[in-house]
Structure 1
């Protein structure tokens, strides 16, 4: 996204968690971002028994400025840096990608002193309340600078709440936890705000994915997505803007866990595939060695298996699954459209 927007004159910043490669060729500054401030991978990747990780670094552009970083201050500092970037670029087109580290991947999320111990839901609640504060500060900045009606703000999450003790969030009424291919792990909220372009209070129930942001933002900037590779996402501006009768661009959607296909959805139907050697996805608590078919429109909690009564739907979705394997690959099977992962010889910790 940053590369496409930068080519159209946008000033670009990534502020927050990266986790797409910590070696120089993979850093945000090599992927179209003019500025980077954040941690290069997950907040739980810190030195401890069994894990020989270096102290968690805080980076600015391509330089480590602190190690270890104080994780309690990440949300506060990310917010301040975002506001500073917006203020510096208020008179030119800009794009800010703000992947907050919190609530993060630890059993006790972090928060600054102003929020620590203040919520009724422990450290998790503290960190969520600080994220709410952060969003409010950024929106207030846009209003103060007269950018409110000229800025599209998108707020979303990367996965559902994971199973932790004590609990951290809820996915109800969806079934399953984060890091599974149940709806509770994969389906997340998205809020899009652009006064004058997106009507307040409207709701869209059509299926869309994070992959759609690239072609959508490219369209809004008057650009084109890359043409030297297959782009799986679609321009979903008709969905976001509330165009009459706008429908999902997906005939089928595929639920992968790492390199394994676990489920496929088409329209209201979702089919969990029979996998005898399922990995972490077994956290869903569901049997994985049989086909499970659900009508999500009528049964959002995935409670009533209709595989036996709708063999026609099962057959159709199995055909989609096979088509996905031929296009996207699975396990050791790689197709011509599968791009190899980037690697660096002799990597050095940041």
Structure 2
């Protein structure tokens, strides 16, 4: 009997002294489509509320100086997944259903990186990094996928829900497919079908969390909306005081609430890092079916702040201080290296552009890990550079919504693409809406920013000055 007791005591001591298994946090990344800086009530939205997202902000950190990598769909998503400026990896603009390129297999995505640590990985929503099989999520680190392969307006349906006719632009598009893993599950043919997407993605996300609660997981939830055409389920239609767009934002908030509730019910609330942000600013010429830039200039498709400054909320209970506001410059490209630091994964051998912002997430908001930022658009045009709160915009032709009457009820107003944008220096601390050119007052700041621009052109190139970058990689091509 004494021997048995001694053996049991020895076993207890051995177990207590042996190193504990590494406890890795779950990662949830919720990515909106065309949601503007002013579209959440914690960022100033009016006539509707987003209480679940607001609660995330109250329990975590709300970033106010957070930039999407580029103000358009595919480029922004490529940057998020790889931590690179999208032009570094050969992705620009929005890939079409007819595009022959997509994300290269040589690039490392967040999902592939987390596979090093045994993460279960799932994506439920919009992908938009190539629709052919070799570009789909399962070939880039994800275990499962349900969603649209590209934007929800790339279908043969007019904005009023009627089928497009041969003389109309949208007639050229194929039927919009809903993909499950690598195959088409069904076809999205009507606005009623689109109204089911937010709920479908949410239900798939909740199920994924429940099935993987005993293992570390990475959940990527890139909603197809509020990109037009917008559609909302019956449970939220007419619930706001602002119309269909606000109804949709309330449904998105419900979706976030379902994710938060599932985490709590399954004991995962304190070991899950949640990041909520958007791919770019609002598509303003769609009027009441578009969001708000929150007072920043312009919107989607421009390198002004309204195109690239987006909400970002990070909650990681026990790590993020509650109710903190961070005004430091940061970007979606910084998410990749930050997750790598948190989870202890190896970084890719090739160059990335993101910086580790874990110090900010932990509440050290006096630090400034990101010093500069490059505003690229179109194929490879360096339209502006940033240093702290200083922003130098270079002369270029681009989109503008200013002085244009927006559309209504899903139809677009004008947004000319060939407006001449003059060179200007802005002090975003005093002039966040980019109204006052101060080049003549601060020539030394212009010189510093010009030097930063030259570094960008040397590295990544610049179509505006006909420069080829030395460190760019190619996108994948259809085999």
Indicate conservation of the 8 Å contact 1:20/1:41, yes or no: yes
> In the TM superposition, what is the alpha-carbon distance from 1:308 to its structure 2 partner?
1.5
Indicate conservation of the 8 Å contact 2:152/2:227, yes or no: yes
The aligned length equals: 338
Deviation per CA, 1:216-274, whole angstroms, max 9, x where unpaired?
A: 111111112211x1110011100111126321322x21111122111111011101112
Task: Specify whether residues 289 and 65 from structure 1 end up closer, same or farther in structure 2 by C-alpha distance, changes over 3 A only.
Answer: closer
Aligned pair partner of 2:218 in 95, 98, 110: 95
Partner of 1:348: none
1:187 aligns to 2:305 (yes or no)? no
Partner of 1:196: 318
Aligned pair partner of 1:316 in 445, 448, 464: 448
| Matches of 1:313 and 1:336, distance apart in 2 | 26
Partner of 2:16: none
35-44 vs 303-312, greater mean Cα deviation: 303-312
1:13 aligns to 2:147 (yes or no)? no
| Matches of 2:402 and 2:374, distance apart in 1 | 17
Indicate conservation of the 8 Å contact 2:398/2:419, yes or no: no
Runs of 4+ in 1 over 4 A off after TM superposition: 284-287
Partner of 2:169: 50
| Matches of 1:28 and 1:326, distance apart in 2 | 32
| Matches of 2:445 and 2:468, distance apart in 1 | 28
Partner of 1:222: 344
Partner of 1:247: 368
Q: Is there any run of 5+ residues in structure 1 with no aligned partner, and where?
A: 346-350
Alignment of 1:129-278 (within 5 A): 129-167=250-288, 168-227=290-349, 229-243=350-364, 245-250=366-371, 252-258=372-378, 259-275=380-396, 278=397
Task: Specify whether residues 288 and 309 from structure 1 end up closer, same or farther in structure 2 by C-alpha distance, changes over 3 A only.
Answer: farther
Indicate conservation of the 8 Å contact 1:177/1:284, yes or no: no
> In the TM superposition, what is the alpha-carbon distance from 1:340 to its structure 2 partner?
1.2
| Matches of 1:151 and 1:296, distance apart in 2 | 34
Partner of 1:344: 478
Cα-Cα RMSD:
1.7
Structure with bigger RCO (C-alpha 8 Å, 6+ apart):
2
Indicate conservation of the 8 Å contact 2:458/2:470, yes or no: no
Indicate conservation of the 8 Å contact 1:215/1:224, yes or no: no
Aligned-partner SS, 1:308: coil
Partner of 2:206: 83
| Matches of 1:105 and 1:323, distance apart in 2 | 37
Larger radius of gyration: 2
